[in-house]
Structure 1
Amino acid sequence: MESNNKNYYINQYAVVDDNVEIGEGTKIWHFSHVQSGAKIGKYCVLGQNVNVGNNVVIGNYCKIQNNVSVYEGVTLEDYVFCGPSMVFTNVRDPRSKYPQVGSKFYIKTLVKEGASLGANCTIVCGITIGRYAFIGAGAVVTKDVPDFALVVGNPAKLVGWVSEAGKKLKFDNNGFAFCEKSNKKYKLENNFVIEV
C-alpha cells in the first residue's frame, strides 16, 4: 500500500518486508523489494525494480537507479550512486548444484562515501571501492579501488583521478590539482590521491 503518512515514501507497487529501517525523506519506487533486516538511511532514492537484500546497510543520500540488486553482504556508505542495471555479487564460486545459503557464505563488499558506480558495471564481491571513486559504465571491478580513482574496462584499470565532485583531476609538476566545482585541492603521491 502506498505510504504517505510516514516521513518516507513507499510506492504502492513496492514491497517492504518486516523488520526494515527506512530513514526520513527516503523514496522507494515501483516494483522494488526491501528485504528483512535491511537498513536504509535518510534521503535515499531507490528507483524502479531495485532489490535490497537481507541485512544490507545503505547510508544516507544514496541514489540507486533502476534494476539494481544490492545483495546481502554489500554495504553502501553515504552519498553512493549506483547507476542503472549495475551489478553486485556476493559469492565467489556460485553453483546451483552446491548452493551456498546463509550470511556466513556471503563475501563482504564495501562501497565508501561518495563513490559512483556507472551503468552496467559489475562489482565482484570481496572488495572495497574507495571514497569518491568513479567506476566507468560497463567496467568489471575485480580488485580494490583507491579513493578518488577513475577506473574503466574489463577488468577495470586505473585511468585517472577525480575530485569529490567527479571532475577529472589534472596534476601539476608538484603533484597538486584543484577542482573548481568542489573548491578543493588534491595531491597525488605514491599513486594515491588525498585531499589537502
Structure 2
Amino acid sequence: MSQDETVRIHESSYVDDGVEIGEGTAIWHFCHLLTGTRLGQRCKVGQNVTLGPRVTVGTNVKIQNNVSVYEGVTLEDDVFVGPSVVFTNVFTPRSAFPRNTSDAFLPTLVQQGASIGANATIVCGSTVGRHALIGAGSVVTRDVPDHAIVYGNPARLKGWACECGVPLDFQSEAATCGDCLREYMKEDQVVKRAETNALLRRTA
C-alpha cells in the first residue's frame, strides 16, 4: 500500500498490498480496497465500500455507503456515487459458467463531475458523461450524454444539468444556469459550455 500521512483509514477497513491512496483521502468503516486499486487525492469513501481489484478512482470522488466498484469500472475526478449504487461488470453472468477474468469484463466509465443517485444500477459497458445526473433508483443500460439528466427503468433523458448540478432551461439553443450563471449551447443532443461567451464577459 502506498499512502500519505494525511490519509485516514478506519481500523475496521482492509487495504491489500499494491493499493495506492492519494493524500487527504478518508476511508470509513468496514471497507475493502483490493490489489491494484488506485484512489486519488481528497476522496471520501463511506462505510461498507469495496473497491477493486484494479479499479481507478480519480481526485475528489465521493463514494457513499454500501457501494462495490468492481474491476472494469473507472470513476474520474469529482464523481459522486450515492448510497447502495450497483455497478455490474459482466453482461451475461452464469454461476455454472464463471466469467471472472479481466477479458470477460465490459468497461464502465463514469466521467468527470457526474453524479449517480442512491440505489441506481449502472449496467456494464456504459459511459456516464461529464456532469451528468443519474436519478435515484434508475437503471442505466446505455451511454448517458454530457450534462444529461436521466432517470427511470430503463433510464431515459429528461433534461440537462449545469456543471453545478442545477437543471438548465433551454428555450432555444442557449441556456444560462440560474444559480452560477454558466452559459451553455445545445445542438441536437449535445450540450456544451459556451466558453466563448464566458471569455467575452471576463475581458469586457
Length-normalised TM-score, structure 2: 0.92
Structure 2 equivalent of residue 58 of structure 1:
57
2:25 alignment partner AA: T
1:76-91 to 2 correspondences below 5 Å: 76-91=75-90
Retained in 2: the 8 A contact 1:164–1:182? no
Structure 1 equivalent of residue 193 of structure 2:
195
Give the structure with the larger helix fraction: 2
DSSP-derived class of the 1:104 partner: helix
How far has the Cα of 1:66 moved from its partner? 0.1
DSSP-derived class of the 1:150 partner: strand
Structure 2 equivalent of residue 186 of structure 1:
184
Number of aligned residue pairs: 192
CA pair 101-182 structure 1, distance change in 2 beyond 3 A: same
Q: Give structure 1 stretches of 5+ with no counterpart.
A: none
Retained in 1: the 8 A contact 2:4–2:23? no
Retained in 2: the 8 A contact 1:45–1:63? yes
1:6 alignment partner AA: E
1:110-149 to 2 correspondences below 5 Å: 110-149=109-148
**What is the aligned-residue identity percentage?**
54
How far has the Cα of 1:179 moved from its partner? 1.3
CA pair 158-41 structure 1, distance change in 2 beyond 3 A: same
2:44 alignment partner AA: V
DSSP-derived class of the 1:158 partner: strand
Give the Cα–Cα distance (whole angstroms) in 1 for the partners of residues 159 and 150 of structure 2.
7
Give the Cα–Cα distance (whole angstroms) in 2 for the partners of residues 77 and 101 of structure 1.
24
Give the Cα–Cα distance (whole angstroms) in 2 for the partners of residues 5 and 95 of structure 1.
41
1:106 alignment partner AA: F
Q: Give structure 2 stretches of 5+ with no counterpart.
A: 195-204
Retained in 2: the 8 A contact 1:107–1:125? yes
Give the Cα–Cα distance (whole angstroms) in 1 for the partners of residues 9 and 23 of structure 2.
12
Give the Cα–Cα distance (whole angstroms) in 1 for the partners of residues 40 and 145 of structure 2.
24
Structure 2 equivalent of residue 176 of structure 1:
174
RMSD: 1.2
How far has the Cα of 1:5 moved from its partner? 7.7
Structure 2 equivalent of residue 101 of structure 1:
100
Give the Cα–Cα distance (whole angstroms) in 1 for the partners of residues 93 and 171 of structure 2.
46
